[in-house]
Amino acid sequence: MLKNTLLEAVHAAADEMRRFNDLDFKISNKEGINNLVTEVDHASEKIIIDIIKKNYPDHHILTEEAGDLVQDSQYKWIIDPIDGTVNFAHRIPLCCVSIAIEQNKEIILGAVYNPYLNELFVAEKGGGATLNDKKISVSKKENVSNACLVTGFPYTYLDEPNGPLEVFSRFIRKGVPVRRLGSAAIDLAWVAAGRFDGFYEHKLQAWDSAAGFLLVQEAGGTVTHFNGDPYSPYQHGLIASNGIIHDELMKWVNGELPKS
């Protein structure tokens, strides 16, 4: 059963993260300053892939470190073995395993597991979203000015007009609280749980957002691209919210609010 394999994989990867709690591990750098990868990312990823191949050897796998392991299959597993690697490398307990399953180009299952806070978020298409087996739902906040938001910044980007720093400045100059946790998967899971009212980020990869997207959607929220088009994990920009503030949040992010 797909869900059982998904849960087996996230738990096994989380165990691998915990195994290194008191151990030194190798850290290297990818493109851009502080875009880190550790030997634990690779170990976690290997365990996940091994479990998937044991149960579903013909499934397509897309994962952050190993890349695109293509198979001719209607199913694709989208994997981030450790989302929030910089946090993990600095022993900051805001990091997680994130795995989504896509069937015929639609995300049908997702799990985000932070072993340090013991928080397992699971979503199933049409079946709702849970945190540690208890149903969750998005917040009821009605406007952006009273919202608590979260964002992230890419490691490499051009400082373009309406880029990440300009949008961030727009919010904080108006007194809107915007947090940065360092894990997009956790950001989205916490929107699903109603802790944050909205999330936006300019540059994400599929493994960052695929599981979290389904969590928000199944918790009653809305996820789109910056222009309001339906979300796809294979495009970069993303806005997620409780749905109530979504149109207003898009205007804030896109700089379309009247000048005051």
Which sequence positions are flagged as catalytic? 64, 80, 82-83, 85, 208
Q: Which helix (H) or strand (E) holds 112?
A: strand 106-114
End-to-end CA distance of the chain: give it in Å, rounded: 55
Distance from C-alpha of 170 to C-alpha of 166, rounded to nearest angstrom = 6
Q: How far is CA 183 from CA 1, 80, 149, in A?
A: 28, 11, 14
DSSP for 224-240, please give it: E-TTSPBP-TTSS-EEE
Distance from C-alpha of 68 to C-alpha of 10, rounded to nearest angstrom = 19
Neighbouring CB atoms inside 10 A of 50's CB total 12
Taking phi over 0 as left and psi of -120 to 50 as alpha, with beta for the rest, 245 belongs to: alpha
With H, G, I as helix, E, B as strand and everything else as coil, classify residue 244.
coil
Distance from C-alpha of 6 to C-alpha of 110, rounded to nearest angstrom = 8
Question: Which DSSP symbol is given to 163?
Answer: -
